Amino acid sequence: MLVLASGSAVRRRLLTQAGLTFDVVPADIDESVVQHHDPAERALALAKLKAEHVWAKRPHDIVIGADQVGRLGARWLEKCHDGAAAKEQLRAMRGQTHRFFSAAAVVQQGHVTGAGAGVVEECAVTFRDFSEDELDRYLATNEWRGCCGSYQIEHRGAQLVDDVQGPLTAVWGLPLYPLLKTLRTLGAA
């Protein structure tokens, strides 16, 4: 059985649309234990940690762990817990380019599987210089809740974007095509 160690609705949708059948078992881990300063390494370490955590509960299954981190220069992008923090973060991103690093790791028989023991994709997103009124209208949608970077590019957050360079799936939080390649080598896709 294939298991997704994530509660992300976007990741579930991407894998379902790709034709996969899987269980969802969100990994309940303390993400603060991963302290990598390199964003790609941090995303991959979190993906591995989640996959290994769930695999310990489901040792006969193939477990996919996934995570995403974002950076605006040297600043980590956050999943903000209140509207004021989300507004401050989105203001800082206005007119700037930020980057997302999305990683996936597959654990089977206790070992991380795949090229380089996991995959990471990077994507650069440039926000346009949106107005304060546009920012307030976006925040009122509440789409910012639970999102790295405080926006959802697959919904109304697309209105904030001027340009995207790299795979859009990296913004969505899953390096889908490299992950599918790994799963096909395991006979799981």
DSSP code of 148? Answer: B
**Distance (Å, rounded) from C-alpha 122 to C-alpha 120?**
7
Top pLDDT among 186 and 18 is at 18
Tokens describing residue 46: 């979190």
pLDDT at 115: 43
**Distance (Å, rounded) from C-alpha 71 to C-alpha 28?**
24
Mean pLDDT across 138-162: 95
Mean pLDDT across 43-66: 94
Domain that holds residue 29: 2-185
Q: Each residue of 88-118: pLDDT tens digit?
A: 999 999 999 999 999 999 998 877 765 446 8
Number of domains in the chain: 1
- Per the annotation, the verdict on 162 as an active-site residue is no
pLDDT at 114: 55
Task: Give whole-number Cα distances, 107 to 37, 52, 119, 152, in Å.
Answer: 24, 6, 12, 28
Mean pLDDT across 55-83: 94
Q: At how many degrees (to 10) do helices 83-93 and 132-140 cross?
A: 140
Mean pLDDT across 125-150: 96
Tell whether the torsion through CA atoms of 126, 130, 134 and 136 is positive or negative.
Answer: positive
CATH of residue 136's domain is: 3.90.950.10
**List 30, 67, 129, 163, catalytic entry:** 67
